[in-house]
Structure 1
Amino acid sequence: MPIDREKALTADPAIRRIGWTTRDVLLYHLSLGAGSGAATDPELHLTYERGLTVLPTFAVVAGSGISSGEAAAPGFHLPGIDIDLRAVLHAGQGLTVHRPLPASGTATLTSRVAEVRDKGRAALIVLDSTAADPDGEPLWTSTTRVWARGEGGFGGDSGPEEQWTRPDRPADTVLTSVTTPQQALWYRLNGDLNPLHADPDFARAAGFERPILHGLASYGLLCRALVDGVLDGDVTRLTGLAVRFAGPLVPGESLETSVWHDEPAEDGTGRLLLHAACPDRDGAPVLTHATATVRA
């Protein structure tokens, strides 16, 4: 079914109540490799319910775990948009957390299609979501960019090209995150059951040699690396993270992130420029056009 851009943009926002538990947070952290060096560092702030802190990127899976009954259904279905799952790729993710996330809680999540861009042979769909606690106070806002292959040509605006320049100097810090062969199987328990990350036949039909890691898993790996490697383990210092998904990461490969410190904003918050690549494939880009906002 062709995309109906007008219908997608004018549809009422989707509003639902979500909830999560300490168990969901622990599973999320474990699916990103927390505690993998438990013999020397169990990372109790991420793996133990006493004193548990929450990685900000948990927000993108909150309320969608299998145990919650809200696991993502196969397919991509929104008003005016009905796309085969094999045509869908996660193109980018942005997140701003307005305060530290609680280890358990409930929220009202309001989501809408913010834009649909005609990229010729593909469509770029931009989804905005906001979460508020039971008192109506904001918890986080997020922007999801979805690339739909073969869904362009509906006559819409292609939109502006995003500008991002990699600094012309050595990185201030380089962080390495190691994944395991079963990483995607762990991560899908957070709620994204897309068979692209588990079924070899499905992955080949989608154009990949084998199942790939979720883009949001790479996003979470980047978050954890920044918290541990730049922010002294303090999850509350990371207040924003935006990336473009430039290429896949296969479970078992490593993610190498270059970090540059940019000029601080007028309000005193810091800004990091990031580029994550796979050293196992000659530095093939995985996460690009990436920035993080941090508190001092």
Structure 2
Amino acid sequence: MPIDAAKALAAAPRAGEISWGHKDVQLYHLGIGAGIPATDPDELRYTLESRLHVLPSFATVAGGGKPGATSGLSMPGVDVDLARVLHGGQSLLVHRPIPAAGTAVATSRIAAVHDKGKAAVLVLRTEVADGEGPLWTNDAQIFVRGEGGWGGDRGPSTRGEPPAGEPSRTVERPVREDQALLYRLSGDFNPLHADPEFAELAGFERPILHGLCTYGITLKAVTDTLLGGDVTRVRSYATRFAGVVHPGETLRIRMWHTPHSTRVAVSVVERDDAPVLTDTTVEHT
């Protein structure tokens, strides 16, 4: 069996040093659409080093995105075909505000292996800490088609009931034609997001936007719209990737806000609100 759940779960964690500076943070923010309008004080906190605040989703690319979601595929007990792999979901727990520059140790392991019958789901957990203690914990849910059926634990259902009633706020965010080309400079150089020929071979009519770019765009929209732009209020952020976005399309972001959490649904305006992010929640103060 290509996935040996017991071996994967028992494997020793992998640890490595990562570092980042203000240029990495600024590039990430530009990659998720910050800086428009360029002189807006609310945007300058994402783009100007003298007043830089770090959006927590930067954690997904800190250190050049290593370890990334697919690093779990090289763990002991895991031997799968990359063509069968999908990034199914992402969750982030923020322990304290992320500094604009830092060095930390990232420790990764397979935290769970779920048997979904026709597929397996690997949960790659990365815990990051610096000299002052824990910074953040990332969980990437890796969906591997055709690798289930060994009788293992199915794991929790990731699909919840959609939010009830009308959203508290709805905003639209245009995705620039060059958004994926800019975002990939933060570390994810998968040609699926840049090379039309590769995208066609993968079954897409043209390159698609990184799911984690949509993830960042969405958190910025929630932070700016409902949290007064205060990135330190974000405590956790989880989503399930439900569809693709093409550069040049427009995201419709619906938010159902309560004092300590916001439910979110993201869709593509030009394709009859085709879902992109579902089961999405931002916990905040």
Q: Same fold (TM over 0.5)?
A: yes
- Decide whether aligned partners of structure 1 residues 168 and 58 sit closer, same or farther in structure 2, where only a CA change above 3 A counts: same
How far apart, in 2, do the equivalents of 1:272 and 1:71 lie?
28
Correspondence for 1:48: 48
Query: Structure 2 counterpart of 1:240, which letter?
Result: S
Mapping of residues 18-57 of structure 1, within 5 Å: 18-38=18-38, 43-57=43-57
Query: Structure 1 counterpart of 2:54, which letter?
Result: V
Provide, for residues 176-224 of structure 1, a one-character-per-residue CA deviation record: whole Å limited to 9, x for no partner: 2211111111111111112221222322232222211111101000011
SS at match of 1:131: strand
Q: Does 1:148 align with 2:110?
A: no
Correspondence for 1:92: 89
Q: Does 1:193 align with 2:189?
A: yes
Match of 1:286 among 265, 276, 280: 276
For the aligned residues, what is the CA RMSD? 2.0
After TM superposition, give the deviation of residue 233 of structure 1 in Å: 1.4
SS at match of 1:252: coil
Correspondence for 2:105: 108
After TM superposition, give the deviation of residue 164 of structure 1 in Å: 1.7
Query: Structure 1 counterpart of 2:240, which letter?
Result: R
Correspondence for 1:132: 129
Match of 1:219 among 207, 215, 218: 215
Match of 2:263 among 254, 263, 273: 273
- Decide whether aligned partners of structure 1 residues 73 and 259 sit closer, same or farther in structure 2, where only a CA change above 3 A counts: closer
Query: Structure 1 counterpart of 2:223, which letter?
Result: V
After TM superposition, give the deviation of residue 163 of structure 1 in Å: 4.8
- Decide whether aligned partners of structure 1 residues 88 and 11 sit closer, same or farther in structure 2, where only a CA change above 3 A counts: same
| Structure 1 unmatched ranges of 5 or more | 265-269
How far apart, in 2, do the equivalents of 1:10 and 1:198 lie?
37
- Decide whether aligned partners of structure 1 residues 271 and 108 sit closer, same or farther in structure 2, where only a CA change above 3 A counts: same
Q: Does 1:254 align with 2:250?
A: yes
**Structure (1/2) with the larger helix percentage:** 2
- Decide whether aligned partners of structure 1 residues 157 and 201 sit closer, same or farther in structure 2, where only a CA change above 3 A counts: farther
Query: Structure 1 counterpart of 2:273, which letter?
Result: G
Q: TM-score normalised to the size of structure 2? A: 0.93
How far apart, in 1, do the equivalents of 2:69 and 2:154 lie?
29
Match of 1:235 among 231, 235, 246: 231
Correspondence for 2:60: 60
After TM superposition, give the deviation of residue 60 of structure 1 in Å: 1.1
Match of 1:182 among 178, 182, 197: 178
SS at match of 2:27: helix
After TM superposition, give the deviation of residue 40 of structure 1 in Å: 5.5
How far apart, in 1, do the equivalents of 2:262 and 2:275 lie?
18
- Decide whether aligned partners of structure 1 residues 71 and 198 sit closer, same or farther in structure 2, where only a CA change above 3 A counts: farther
Contact 2:69 2:142 in 1 (8 A): no
- Decide whether aligned partners of structure 1 residues 169 and 248 sit closer, same or farther in structure 2, where only a CA change above 3 A counts: same
Query: Structure 2 counterpart of 1:152, which letter?
Result: G
After TM superposition, give the deviation of residue 156 of structure 1 in Å: 2.6
After TM superposition, give the deviation of residue 39 of structure 1 in Å: 5.6
Q: Does 1:77 align with 2:65?
A: no
Query: Structure 2 counterpart of 1:294, which letter?
Result: H
SS at match of 1:43: helix
Q: Does 1:117 align with 2:114?
A: yes
Contact 2:69 2:87 in 1 (8 A): no
- Decide whether aligned partners of structure 1 residues 108 and 160 sit closer, same or farther in structure 2, where only a CA change above 3 A counts: same
Q: TM-score normalised to the size of structure 1? A: 0.89
How far apart, in 1, do the equivalents of 2:273 and 2:84 lie?
26
Provide, for residues 49-81 of structure 1, a one-character-per-residue CA deviation record: whole Å limited to 9, x for no partner: 10111001001111126xxxx586988422221
Query: Structure 2 counterpart of 1:4, which letter?
Result: D
Match of 2:168 among 148, 172, 176: 172
After TM superposition, give the deviation of residue 88 of structure 1 in Å: 1.7
- Decide whether aligned partners of structure 1 residues 82 and 220 sit closer, same or farther in structure 2, where only a CA change above 3 A counts: same
**Number of equivalent positions:** 284
SS at match of 2:50: coil
Contact 1:16 1:108 in 2 (8 A): yes
Which deviates further from its counterpart, 200-209 or 70-79?
Answer: 70-79
Query: Structure 2 counterpart of 1:288, which letter?
Result: T
Which deviates further from its counterpart, 198-207 or 219-228?
Answer: 198-207
Correspondence for 1:267: none
